[in-house]
Chain A
Amino acid sequence: MIVTIMAMILLPLAMALLLLSAPLGRLVPRLLGVAPAPALLLLPIAWEGSVSSYTLLGSWTAIVDQAGALLLAASGLLWMIGGFAASQWLKGREGAGRFSLWWLLTLSGSLGVFVAGDVVSFYALYALASLPAYGLIAFGGGEEAQRAGRATLAAALIGEALILAAFVLLTVEAQGQGLAIATVMHALPASPEAGLVITLVVVGFGLKIGLFPLHGWMPMSYAAGPLAAAAVLSGATSKAGLIGLIRFLPLDAPMPVAGGMILAAGLFSAFYGAVLGLTQNNPRSVLAYSSISQLGQMAAVLGAGLAAGVPGAGSIVAFYAVYHVLTKGGLFLMLAAARPPLWQLLLAGVLALGFAGLPLSGGALGKLAFKDVAGSGVTGLLFALAATGSTVLMLHFLRLVKAAPAAAKQEPLPGWAWIAAGLAATLLMWSLFGAVTGVAAGYALKPGVLFELGWPVAAGAAIAWALAAAGTQLPRIEPGDVGARAIAIAEREAPRLARLATRFEIRAHQWQVSTLTLAVVLILWVVLQGWLAPH
């Protein structure tokens, strides 16, 4: 097992190192699909409920549990499908080595983070999953791509900073008993800093999953960069944030206030993403807003789990995420074809509406799985309405794809890739449902359940039809909306602040200023010693 885990993390890194050598390096871009292979060896764990931990190297440990394995299985498959697709796309392309480097680094972190067992390795792998993504997004080199890359990188760096603060606090609160996630999380609920830690965790990982109002970078970055990159970033690496929430929210201790707030934030994000997505006319942006909406729902479920103290909420959310990983990745890959034939559109439609819980789809099983955690009553209704929102949004997406002008940019990705991803998603969901929920999959075929799942979709379809019939023109809002506005402000203000700091520095390093300051500090020193000292 240890060997498998090490291979999963190190194989992509080793391949990245191979890029350094000229003859072998040329092979690497062709083998991107092979890099995630070791992850598939861990696939069976997804069906087990057991938790085991391993010592990798020094204080670095790994933990393999159902939540991690579920995300790992889906992400591994997506990286593999995406990798084969990307290899084809890269053939003969300028910068193939460069792209492969960023790809492999991100891949290593993206998969590794699901099994990281202590705060240090989690932090390292999380960074690996987040920072090199810059290179994938900015790959095209255009102004827009670089801007998106910068915004993503800034979000990632700030997120890293918050997470580091949370991790150090956790370690300090654990009184130096160890760095294992289980150890530090055990001490959290009783700690006086619990509120701060949870805030840092939610904001830090919220940046990664695009929780409102931290979502601005997401539509920008998914709209930029090659499709294959957008596919794995939206499908797989965004789940690094999800596993962060799963691991670092104390789900086994009921925290009604914190949980309630996360629930509310997640649901708001779910609706916000659905509504704002409708204002977009780039299918990529629509998918990005759909991600905001979907990940918002996942956060909401975790919030509900935290409020009630449901330790199993992690696995359930991970199960729901499996569908999103592969399907969202698949839908991005589908955009490679400018005008898909009807059957493909229909298939894409079924997959897309799965996000809304279309009966019999894989997504529906995810919704069923978290029903108990999400609760009934008002929150249940809100989740159902979120599904309605998803329906409207996905129908909007399908219309855009269908209407895409023939001149739309094409990227030569293999046509089978997205279908494979979608099928894998559906298969995984159906075969895993029983293992995760303990309920036979046949449950999903009961009429009552079908109705329960179906009405929000039907309502959504009705709304979409009504909107179309009325010819309602929704306003066009720039991708990233208020977040993009915030990014624009930051882009304007940060250089100004930096210029100020530089000017301050230039002033400070003038001879006369520096020497005078030395005299001032000398005086100040003695004054502080003399006046404030107790002696």
Chain B
Amino acid sequence: MMETGFDVVLALMLLGVGGWSIIARNMMTAVIIFIAYGLLLSLAWVRLHAVDVSLTEAAIGSGATGLLMVIAAHKVAGDSQRVVRLSRGFHVLAAVFATLVAIGIASLAFVLPGAPVSLAAPVLERLPESGLGNPVAGVLFVYRSFDTLLEKVVLLLALIGVWALARDQDWGGVPGLRLFQHPHSVLMLLARTLPPIGFVFAIYMTWAGADVPGGAFQGGTVLAAMWILVMVAGVRRVPRVSSPLLRLAIVAGPLVFLAIGFLGFVAPGVFLAYPDGLAKPLIVVMEVALTLSIAVILGLLIAGPPRAKDSA
């Protein structure tokens, strides 16, 4: 009963806060509400028994995404939003169809096939082969490691996408974050308040997954998010995008991942399969490299395209 009550409140808050972030007039307000929403969502994930997701949501979905949007909102705050004035009728029309979509999806809850389907049992059944304890990590690094590999390529591409926007004369320089170093900006406030929350999550993660190897991945992303905040606060300098060391850090994870994938061709004879008994050590090596790369890439994504060559 207690739990249901909590869930009801949480669900209502999610809707309320999410809706608020949509209708908020001021963009900065909307973004900050969105970050709060993300934290609420992490709670919901815990309630859904998905702690791994909860951590990822807090670190990336709310933290890193929120940070990016705060930066953006700060910069474009002056935009007049002078655009096609939409008529009231159009608003109503949009609301009607959005509501229809929502109602349609909601109604599906009652028509999903009665007997829930699940891959939990097959996942657990073959998990011991890999030596992993966390079934989510098992999916990410064993059964569907191909997805995870491609996801790393996606991250690389995101970096290329951000770097594409540099001016030619600035290329090779340092990503610019200087504008956000005003000591009293909202950002600084966040930079001080968010790390402890992230830290709490990191502790929770460690506590929940004491012997669970999959924890390192989420931990890495949480720490990456924290590193970003530290960078923004100006504690650490941002490296040049052309620095070979930086490039190495960027590709280390994907490179190790690919190498282990190809190793599979040699040892068990299948791409992305692990040699007998070596699964766990290989995965650990991979995760260490990935943690580094993820942290660096996330940091660079938030730092934005290089600004000027000689700013350092």
Listed in ascending order, the chain A residues whose CB lies under 8 Å from chain B are 510, 512, 516, 519-520, 522-523, 526
**Contact between chains at A516 and B104 (CB < 8 Å):** no
* Interface set of B (CB-CB < 8 Å, partner A): 84, 86, 90, 93-94, 97-98, 100-101, 104
- Please, how many angstroms separate the alpha-carbon atoms of A523 and B96 in the complex? 11
User: Residues of A contacting B94 with CB < 8 Å?
Assistant: 512, 516, 519
The 7 closest A-B pairs by CB, nearest first: A519-B97, A523-B100, A516-B94, A519-B101, A520-B97, A512-B86, A523-B97
Q: What's the least CB distance linking B109 to chain A, in Å?
A: 15
Q: Which residues of A contact B100 (CB under 8 A)?
A: 519, 523
Instruction: Please measure, in the bound complex, the distance between the C-alpha atom of A512 and the C-alpha atom of B97, giving whole angstroms.
Output: 13
Interface contact B101-A512, CB-CB below 8 Å: no
Tell me, in angstroms, the Cα distance from A519 to B94 when the chains sit together.
Answer: 9
List of A residues within 8 angstroms of B97 by Cβ: 516, 519-520, 523
Q: Which residues of the other chain, A, contact B93 by a CB distance below 8 angstroms? A: 516
The CA-CA distance from A530 to B136 in the complex, in Å, is: 36
Beyond the given pairs A516-B94, A526-B104, 18 more chain A to chain B contacts, judged by CB atoms under 8 angstroms and listed by A's residue number, are A510-B84, A512-B84, A512-B86, A512-B90, A512-B94, A516-B90, A516-B93, A516-B97, A519-B94, A519-B97, A519-B98, A519-B100, A519-B101, A520-B97, A523-B97, A523-B100, A523-B101, A523-B104
Query: When chains A and B are docked, how far (Å) is the Cα of A510 from the Cα of B94?
Result: 14
Most A CB within 10 A of own CB, among B84, B97, B98:
B97
- CB nearest neighbor in B for A513: B90
With A512-B90, A516-B94 given, is the CB distance from A522 to B101 under 8 Å? yes
Collect the chain B residues with CB atoms within 8 Å of residue A512's CB: 84, 86, 90, 94
The minimal Cβ–Cβ distance linking B52 to chain A, given in whole angstroms, is 31
Shortest Cβ gap from A240 to chain B (Å): 52
The total of interchain contacts (Cβ-Cβ below 8 angstroms) comes to 21
- A512 and B93 alpha carbons, distance in the complex (Å): 11
With A and B bound together, what is the CA distance between A526 and B101 in angstroms?
Answer: 10
Q: Which residue of B lies closest to A530 (CB)?
A: B104
Kindly provide the distance from the CB of A506 to the nearest chain B CB, expressed in whole angstroms.
11
A516 to B104, CA, bound (A): 16
* Chain B proximity of A512: nearest CB distance (Å): 6
Shortest CB distance A379–B (Å) = 65
Q: Pick 21 A–B contacts, CB within 8 A, sort by A.
A: A510-B84, A512-B84, A512-B86, A512-B90, A512-B94, A516-B90, A516-B93, A516-B94, A516-B97, A519-B94, A519-B97, A519-B98, A519-B100, A519-B101, A520-B97, A522-B101, A523-B97, A523-B100, A523-B101, A523-B104, A526-B104
Rounded to whole Å, the gap between the CB of A284 and the closest CB of chain B is 54
Assembled-state Cα–Cα distance A523/B90 (Å)? 17
Q: Which residues of A contact B98 (CB under 8 A)?
A: 519
Q: How far is the CB of B258 from chain A (nearest CB, A)?
A: 37
The complex places the Cα of A410 from the Cα of B124 at a distance, in Å, of 95
A210 to B47, CA, bound (A): 79
CA distance A342 to B12 in the complex (A): 103
Chain A residues in 8 Å Cβ range of B84: 510, 512
The complex places the Cα of A519 from the Cα of B104 at a distance, in Å, of 12
Which of chain B's residues have a CB closer than 8 A to the CB of A516?
90, 93-94, 97
Within the assembled complex, what's the spacing in Å between the Cα atoms of A512 and B92?
13
State the CA gap A512–B84 with chains docked (Å): 10
A507 to chain B, nearest CB (A): 11
Write the chain B residue with the least CB distance to A515. Answer: B94
- Shortest Cβ gap from B20 to chain A (Å): 21
Nearest CB in chain B to that of A510: its residue: B84
Q: How far is the CA of A510 from the CA of B98 in the complex (A)?
A: 18
Chain A residue at minimum C-beta to C-beta distance from B86: A512
CA gap between A467 and B101 in the complex, in Å: 79
Closest residue on chain B to residue A523 by CB atoms: B100
In the complex, chain B residues whose CB is within 8 Å of the CB of A519: 94, 97-98, 100-101
Interfacial chain B residues near A510, Cβ < 8 Å: 84
Least Cβ–Cβ distance between B87 and chain A, in angstroms: 10
Which A residues are in CB contact (< 8 Å) with B101?
Answer: 519, 522-523
Q: Smallest CB-CB separation from B93: which chain A residue?
A: A516
Quick one: closest B residue to A520, CB to CB? B97
- In the assembled complex, the CB of A508 is this many whole angstroms from the nearest CB of chain B, namely 14
Cβ-closest chain A residue relative to B90? A512
